[in-house]
Amino acid sequence: MSNLMRAALLREFGPASNLTIERIPVPLPAAGQLLIKVRAAGINPVDYKTRNGKGIAARELELPAVLGWDIAGEVVSLGDGVSRFDRNDRVFGMSNFPHAGNAYAEYAIVHEDEFALIPASISNEVAAATPLAALTAWEALFDHGHLAAGQKVLIHAAAGGVGHIAVQLAKWKGAYVVGTASQQNHGLLQELGVDLPLDYKTQDFTTVVKDMDMVLDGIGGENSLRSIDVLKPGGVLVCLPSMYKDDPAILEKAASRNVTVKWMMVTPSGERMEQLADLLAAGDLKVKVDQTFPLEDVGKAHEAVETGHVAGKVVLVI
C-alpha cells in the first residue's frame, strides 16, 4: 500500500468546482479506530451545505478538509483495543459527524463504535447510501417523534434520501403514512408503502391531511409553519434544517396549537447501524441509489444532490 492516497480536497468554501482531487498521506489509526479502504461514500444535502460554508459542520471544519460522512468499505488495519472488527471485514457507518468525516478518499480513519458489519447481501453502494439518512430517519421518528403502531405520520419529501427511508421505517413500525413528493415519484412512494401520496406541486397538504400524530419535515420555514395545522393536539413536529432552529414564529404557533416542535442533529451510532443492518438483511429496508459517480466527478455528484430532485441517494464509488 502506498503511503499516499487520492482524496477530494476542499481548500476553501464555495462552489462544487472547489473540490479538487489531490494526493495526501494515508492516515494511521489510533486507539479504538479503524483504517478503512473506502469503496463507496454517500453524499447528503449537509455535504454541499458544508462545502458552501453553512451549518454546524462547516463551523467545525478546518480547511483544507475532506468532506463526507457516509462510508462503506473494508477494514485494513486496527488501532489498539479494537474488539468489534477484524481485518477485511466489510463495514459501514456515519463517521465523526458533525466533525470532519473524511469520506471522499481512498482511505479513512473511523471510530469502531460508530460502525457495523455490512450484510453479505448488500452492495457497497447501498451500504454507503444508508448511514446518515437512515440514522436521521430513525432518530426523528422514534427518539423525537415517539412514533408507534397505529399512529399517523406525514413525511415531507418522502422520495428523498431521508424521506424514502423514513417511510419504510414508519411502515415497519406499523404507522399510517402520508408522503409528499412530485407526481413523477409517486410510483416510488407506492412501492415504499405510502398510504396516501400527495403531489406537493398540485395539492395543498393542509386541505387534505388532518389529525396527524407526527410530521417529519426536512424542508423547514413556511413548510414547518403550515405543518403545525395538520397535527392533532399533543402531536410532534420534527424539523431537520438547523437554520430554522428555535424560529419564534414556529414555536409560537406550535404553543397555541398544543404541539411540540423538535429540531434535531443526527448522532453516529454503531449500535443503531447494527439494527439498520438487520433491517437491510431482512429486506424490511431498501435504500435506493439514484446515481453513482467516480471520485473524480465529486463536483458533478454534489451538483446532482444540490438540485434537490434526487429520488433516493447519490453515491461516490472510489
CA distance 300 to 310: 13
Least confident of 80-89, 189-198, 286-295, 304-313: 304-313
Q: Which three cell numbers stand for residue 252?
A: 409560537
> Rounded to an integer, what distance in angstroms lies between the CA atom of residue 15 and that of residue 211?
42
Q: Which three cell numbers stand for residue 178?
A: 402520508
Q: Residues 6 or more apart from 246 whose CB is under 8 A from it? A: 263
| Spatial separation of the C-alpha atoms in residues 73 and 41, rounded to whole Å | 9
pTM over 0.75: yes
**Which pLDDT tens digit goes with each residue over 192-208?**
999 999 999 999 999 99
CB 237 within 8 A of CB 213: no
| Distance from C-alpha of 184 to C-alpha of 187, rounded to nearest angstrom | 7
pLDDT tens figures, 264-290:
999 999 999 999 999 999 999 999 999
Cis peptide before 45 (omega within 30 of 0): no
The grid cell for 48 is 454541499
Burial class (CB in 10 A: 0-12, 13-18, 19+), 41: buried
C-alpha 37: how far from chain center: 21
